[in-house]
Amino acid sequence: MVILFSLVFVGNAPIGTVQGYEAVRGIITSDTTWTKANSPYNLTGNIAIDEGVTLNIEAGVTINLNGYYIRVNGTLIAKGTSTDNILFNGGSIKFTQLSNSWNEQTGTGSIIENSIINSLLATGGGSPKIINNEITESITLGGNSPILSKNTIEITGTEWLSSKIGIWIVEENSAYISDNIISGSFDTAGIQIDGGSPTIERNQISNDYGYGSSEDRHQAGILISNNASPIIKQNTITKNAIGISLAGYPTPTIINNNIEENSNYNLRMSVQVDIAAANNWWGTTDTAVIDQKIYDYNDDFNLGKINYTPFLTAPNPQAVPDPNAPTPTIAPTSPPTDSPSTPAPSQEPGQTDQTEAIIGAAIVMIVLSAGLGLLIYLIKRK
């Protein structure tokens, strides 16, 4: 007989602690702890953490999502240790706009720390802190101000989205992405920024898939599009097909980065506005060599110009992940009061929510972009 968890407590277990159950599904409507003693936890359906409710996951716990998701409308605290990680396998973890954002000043809110995450991560308005984890699947960041710091993000997952993008910023937000090592075999971008004003700082971004590939490969370390206005500073972007790619009408700040050894271009633009990219290291001080790895007006006079002078005359030693860097204090935002309520406890969590809508829209965008890029390439070949 399969036993399902909803709000069932047995024996002498403290209220809010699950004891003796491994198969879990449904809506968590009171504070709950998943313990190492009862690990692993196997999802047999979707899980929703109700608004105002906390799910605490102890160090050493394994969660097998089995293709289902954990939707966070309240607070998720998953804090492993450096010697006793939490393990998430499969499925996805979704923070909605109702979820409790991380507050660095008080040390409260939603956090995933010292975990191995083999699951898709998505924030649809929430601002969790994701720190010191090993991550193998794609991360999608919606609105608000999530913190993604000091993670090793090596995209090796089998999900379709993970083969395309490492970190996807899909709408207006002020995400803080710092001190991560981002690598893998994604064929679109390590970080794709489609909106907002995120800060991308002290990351190392490289890609096995794009490096050394032919001219028609357009994989980028960072892809900036639409009207995004990110701050890209003190990163090392190397061994991609393209270091940074620009499309649409972005207004980025690109400064103090090491952008070098990218096989096709260090910086490529397909926009008609001029872009400032001064005070970066391009792998050389020879302007003729720098120009060869920058694609702009000088290669296609329909494009704008990339103004890269003055430039650094040596690599920036600070453009690397810093494990001791402090986490910035970002004021959390309160969830909207007029948002739809969580389904009643007797219901299965719905399959449609804001986060899924964001991911769906983003997938449509990348399919359209890929088709347009292929069409342009075929026309040029003729």
Which residue has 């994701």 as its token pair? 130
The angle subtended at Cα 378 by Cα 375 and Cα 379, nearest 5°, is: 85
pLDDT (tens digit, 9 = 90+) per residue, 142-177?
988 999 999 999 987 666 665 689 999 998 889 999
Arithmetic mean of pLDDT over the chain = 83
pLDDT tier for residue 218 given thresholds of 50, 70 and 90: low
pLDDT (tens digit, 9 = 90+) per residue, 89-115?
999 999 999 999 999 999 999 999 999
Q: How confident is the model over 107-124, as a mean pLDDT?
A: 96
Model confidence, pTM: 0.82
Q: How confident is the model over 297-311, as a mean pLDDT?
A: 97
Residues in the chain, overall count: 382
Structure tokens at 84: 């006793």
Measured CA to CA, the distance from residue 217 to residue 371 in angstroms comes to 14
Q: How confident is the model over 241-248, as a mean pLDDT?
A: 95
Q: How confident is the model over 16-32, as a mean pLDDT?
A: 77
Q: What secondary structure does DSSP assign to 16-50, as a single string?
A: TB--S--EEEEEE-S-EEE-GGGPPEEEEEEEEE-
pLDDT confidence of residue 123: 93
pLDDT (tens digit, 9 = 90+) per residue, 185-206?
787 899 999 999 999 999 999 9
Is the pLDDT at 347 greater than 60, yes or no? no
Is the pLDDT at 215 greater than 90, yes or no? no
Q: What secondary structure does DSSP assign to 294-358, as a single string?
A: EESTTT-TTS--EE--S--SS--TTSS--TTPPPP-----PPPTTSPPPPPTTSPPPS--HHHHH
Domain boundaries, the chain: 1-135, 173-324
pLDDT (tens digit, 9 = 90+) per residue, 45-92?
999 999 999 999 999 999 999 999 999 999 999 999 999 999 999 999
Q: How confident is the model over 292-305, as a mean pLDDT?
A: 97
Q: How far apart are the first and last CA of the chain?
A: 65
Is the pLDDT at 24 greater than 90, yes or no? yes
pLDDT confidence of residue 286: 98
Element holding 287 (H helix, E strand): helix 287-292
Tell me the percentage of the chain whose pLDDT exceeds 90.
Answer: 69
Residue, of 300 and 5, whose pLDDT is higher: 300
Q: How confident is the model over 268-284, as a mean pLDDT?
A: 96
Q: How confident is the model over 17-22, as a mean pLDDT?
A: 51
Is the pLDDT at 244 greater than 60, yes or no? yes
pLDDT confidence of residue 125: 84
Q: How confident is the model over 289-295, as a mean pLDDT?
A: 98
Is the pLDDT at 216 greater than 60, yes or no? no
Is the pLDDT at 330 greater than 90, yes or no? no
Element holding 12 (H helix, E strand): none
Q: How confident is the model over 121-130, as a mean pLDDT?
A: 93
pLDDT (tens digit, 9 = 90+) per residue, 367-381?
444 444 444 444 444
CB atoms within 10 A of CB 70: 25
pLDDT confidence of residue 164: 81
